[in-house]
Amino acid sequence: MSEFNKKFNNKYIFILSLWIFIFLATFIFNIYTNKQLENHTLSSIETLSIEGSININSSITNKFNILETVAKNISTEDLLNPKEITKSFSNIVQANGFKRMAITTLDGTAYCDNGEIVNISDRDYFKASIEGKRFINSIVSSKLDGRRSNVFSIPIFGYGEVVAVLWASILTDEFYKELNLNIMNELGETLIIDSNGNIIVSEGKIALSSDDFNLFNSIDTKINIKNLDIMKKDFENLNTGYIKLKSNEKNNYIMYYAKLDYNNWWLVSSINNSTIKGYYYNTKITIIIFDILFILLISIIFISLFNKEKRNHKKLKSIAYTDTITEGKNDIFLKNNISNFINKNENLAFISLEIINIKSIVTIVGLKNTEFLLKEVYTYLNNILNNDEIVVHSYFGEYKLFIKYTNIKEFTKRLEDINFQKIDENIKFLMGIYLLDKCDVSYEDMCSYVSIAKETLNNNNINNNKYMIYNKKMHKREVDKLRLEEDIKNAIENKEFKAWFQPKYGKDGKTVIGAEALIRWYKYGSIISPYIFIPICEANGLIRKIDELIFEDVCKNIRKWINNNKKVVPICVNLSRSYLNKVDFIDSLQKYIDKYKISKDLINFEITESSLIGNENKLKDIVSLLHKKGFKVLVDDFGVGYSSIKAISYVNFDALKIDKSFIDGIGEEKWEYIIKYTINLANSLGMLVVAEGVETEEQYKFLLDCNCDMFQGYYFNRPMDSNDFSKLI
Ligand code: C2E
Ligand code: CA
Ligand code: CA
């Protein structure tokens, strides 16, 4: 996956995770608020229960107080004729909502306010009050009319002893109303029970077997035994609380209980779970709606964010995949989409087509026109390709292509046919080709294979071939290159690199007025060209050491020639980009100047303008530094760089060296014009002009006519070792 897609996917995963996180958070928040709501409802119901129990206590106390007041007014004499007194009770009965009121003598005979006489000696309230207690009984069926009733009873004292019992009965339903027990407002039922579960007062909603007024018996013990036990234990410990219960219909309900002041009585409220839920249903629904709206909003935001990201990604991708010069695809696109082009069942060729004289083209037509030309080449290549083939412009003057073929003959014919005559007849190009034999080759490998093929072609192009197909033997050469690197390291250690000297001649073509120091390396019985090892050393940084070695060798030779009374001419030393980038390079040079006691005007430097491409100020600083130290500086390979002319406009070079490729053009009108123009330009800027690579008399004569100052080339002399050179001066 490309870095690009990776970044996008990470963002996508982040947005998705954030969304899931918010979704879950909302979900958890929902559960939490639900729970809170439930708790809140439960606690408000609990409060209702407690408030209810307080009301009930005072209501019951009130009833007892009435009986107490009545009892106080009954004397022992009155008790002799109880029937008579009870007649006066009817007002009290009516005023206080009682059903009956009666005085009961110690034998259990009850004299009721309506004149009836019943025996209640078996009733628990009678038994309790005869013992001196206030009592309210649980629900009983009235002995008089069989209706559900409750009875309040108190003892009547005479001379410190219980002499009778006063009681008043009340219809349970009336009592219930009076106690305001519908505190749950239709949400559930509230009743009063004793600690054994016997119902004292109820509305009668709870299903009870006809005669059994016991709440515990109405609860399905099979499924609720545990919670029921909790409730019973709370009753024992006089704790207020609640339990959750299940009824037969799988309906859950909650039972609250709060202790009352009388007889181990408990106020019990039972409320259906669904009722509780219904109680906060609206709030809950509102929250859910808000949750959904929130999630929706967040989703919309995220989706639009995601879409925006996708659009940006697409846009960026198209920018990242577009070549600015040709406006077509670039090699990043090719690299990231390589799998789309490779198909196991087809023969495929990967090609690097390089315009080899691109630098000269820039010099001649300028950068803008060159870019236009590169675009035309791209269009040309694009037009000769089939739909499932591709070409990209990968870097200035290099194109990469994927081409399909059925047989090599047809394929090479297609390659032969490529020509850019119609675009610009001066375009020279090479193609390195890799025929894909297996599909799992990486893009990088393919690029290195086509480079190797190109390089091989470049080095041995006797027949002016346009293309070279990569093979394994070429690869061997690459491996050899690695071995060479090892050898170079050893050669540096052993100071195997030596300076040779190529003389520079004055206008007469006879007087040696200078020389260029050129590196030579004896290895494997012959001299290895710097064109082979210098690029390697530039790539691995060893060039710094090599430049220093040569500089020292030059100083050493000059010292030797001086000591031998030779007429020493200034020697030009080549300095590489890498060496100039070394912070203390000037100190190293000074070190050898001092060591061999060399006058600075005997050393000049050649540097190429392209050695500090893109860092114009640095080039300027380096040249001024060398000037300050007393050295002369010459611009090498003038004309092949991108900005040679620009360079001489802002850097004060002392001399300009016209590149051999210009000199080769002598004989062609266009090139001759360029050379003339260049020399004029240099002269007008006060620079000397050196021509390198002068091979013929014709070239020398032409250059002389153009007012060139110095000449260097095979026509005069080849580079030679220091012994041979010392004989020349
Ligand atoms: P360059 O600085 O452009 O050096 C000129 C090259 O042209 C030399 O090749 C020289 O032998 C060759 N030459 C001179 N006259 C003629 C001619 O008439 N015909 C032809 N065909 N060639 C001619 P050489 O010595 O092989 O050096 C190649 C390149 O290696 C140099 O190009 C320079 O860039 C680099 N180089 C050589 N010595 C050093 C060195 O001591 N330090 C650094 N940094 N680079 C060096
Ligand atoms: Ca040079
Ligand atoms: Ca040169």
Compute the distance from residue 518 Cα to the ligand 1 centre, in Å. 6
Q: Is 515 exposed, middle or buried (0-12, 13-18, 19+ CB in 10 A)?
A: buried
pLDDT at position 701 over 90: yes
Q: Smallest Cα–Cα separation from 627: which of 645, 610, 603, 660?
A: 603
Give pairs for 110-117: CB < 8 Å, separation 24+: 110/167, 111/82, 111/83, 111/86, 112/86, 112/144, 113/86, 113/87, 113/89, 114/90, 115/83, 115/86, 115/87, 116/144, 117/83
CA angle 427, 429, 431 (to 5 degrees): 160
Average pLDDT over residues 464-482: 81
Sign of the Cα pseudo-torsion (410, 415, 419, 423, in order): positive
Nearest CA to ligand 1 atom 7: 693
Residue 56 carries which DSSP code? Answer: H
pLDDT at residue 716, rounded to an integer: 97
pLDDT at residue 378, rounded to an integer: 96
* Per-position DSSP letters for 309-325, written without gaps between them: HHHHHHHHHHHHTB-TT
Residue 214 carries which DSSP code? Answer: B
Least confident stretch, 328-332, 524-528, 644-648: 524-528
Structure-token match 């297996």, residue found: 438
pLDDT at position 464 over 80: no
Q: How far is CA 615 from CA 362, 578, 579, in A?
A: 19, 13, 15
Ligand 1 neighbours (beta carbon < 6 A): 502, 517-519, 529-531, 534, 547, 550, 574, 576, 636-637, 692-695, 712-714, 719
Average pLDDT over residues 715-721: 96
Give residue 264's identity as a one-letter amino acid code: N
Average pLDDT over residues 425-448: 86
pLDDT at position 209 over 50: no
Compute the distance from residue 532 Cα to the ligand 1 centre, in Å. 12
Angle between helix 367-384 and 358-365 (nearest 10): 130
- Summarize pLDDT for 43-57 with one digit per residue, the tens: 877 787 778 788 888
Compute the distance from residue 500 Cα to the ligand 1 centre, in Å. 10
pLDDT at position 204 over 80: no
pLDDT at residue 207, rounded to an integer: 45
Residue 413 binned pLDDT confidence (cut-offs 50, 70, 90):
very high
pLDDT at residue 601, rounded to an integer: 95
500: CB partners within 8 A, 6+ apart:
517, 518, 519, 520, 719, 720, 721, 722, 725
pLDDT at position 210 over 60: no
Sign of the Cα pseudo-torsion (23, 25, 31, 33, in order): negative
pLDDT at residue 643, rounded to an integer: 60
- Summarize pLDDT for 111-157 with one digit per residue, the tens: 999 888 999 999 889 999 999 998 888 777 777 677 888 899 999 99
Containing 193, the helix (H) or strand (E) segment is strand 188-194
Residue 648 binned pLDDT confidence (cut-offs 50, 70, 90):
confident
- Summarize pLDDT for 266-318 with one digit per residue, the tens: 988 888 777 777 777 888 888 888 888 988 998 898 889 888 888 888 888 88
Nearest CA to ligand 1 atom 11: 719
Residue 249 binned pLDDT confidence (cut-offs 50, 70, 90):
low
Pocket test for ligand 1, best of 574, 664, 716 (most atoms within 8 A of CB): 574
Average pLDDT over residues 562-571: 96
Which of the pair, 352 or 472, is modelled with greater confidence? 352
Residue 701, Cβ neighbours under 10 Å: how many? 12
To the nearest whole number, what is the mean pLDDT of the chain? Answer: 87
What is the pTM for the complete model shown? 0.46
The atom of ligand 1 lying closest to the CA of 714 is: 18
- Summarize pLDDT for 335-351 with one digit per residue, the tens: 888 888 887 778 899 99
Residues of the chain with pLDDT > 90: what percent?
A: 43
The atom of ligand 1 lying closest to the CA of 497 is: 41
Structure-token match 């609860």, residue found: 219
Least confident stretch, 122-136, 456-470, 503-517, 655-669: 456-470
pLDDT at position 241 over 60: yes
644: CB partners within 8 A, 6+ apart:
363, 609, 635, 638
CA atoms in the 13 A half-sphere facing the CB of 464: 1
Compute the distance from residue 516 Cα to the ligand 2 centre, in Å. 7
- Summarize pLDDT for 534-553 with one digit per residue, the tens: 888 887 889 999 999 999 99
The atom of ligand 1 lying closest to the CA of 530 is: 30
The atom of ligand 1 lying closest to the CA of 576 is: 44
Residue 575 near residue 604, CB atoms below 8 Å: no
Compute the distance from residue 541 Cα to the ligand 3 centre, in Å. 21
What are the beta bridge partners of residue 352? Answer: 400, 432
Pocket test for ligand 1, best of 518, 527, 585 (most atoms within 8 A of CB): 518
Compute the distance from residue 60 Cα to the ligand 3 centre, in Å. 122
Q: Two tokens at 613? A: 């491409």
- Summarize pLDDT for 676-698 with one digit per residue, the tens: 999 999 999 999 999 999 999 99
The atom of ligand 1 lying closest to the CA of 657 is: 3
pLDDT at residue 184, rounded to an integer: 62
Nearest CA to ligand 1 atom 34: 574
The atom of ligand 1 lying closest to the CA of 575 is: 44
Residue 202 near residue 194, CB atoms below 8 Å: no
Q: Smallest Cα–Cα separation from 270: which of 304, 219, 316?
A: 219
Which of the pair, 270 or 623, is modelled with greater confidence? 623
pLDDT at residue 274, rounded to an integer: 75
Q: How far is CA 377 from CA 353, 380, 393, 418, 425, in A?
A: 11, 5, 9, 10, 12
pLDDT at position 388 over 60: yes
At residue 530, the 3 state secondary structure works out as helix
pLDDT at position 614 over 70: no
pLDDT at residue 78, rounded to an integer: 85
Highest average pLDDT, of 271-280, 357-366, 496-505, comes from: 496-505
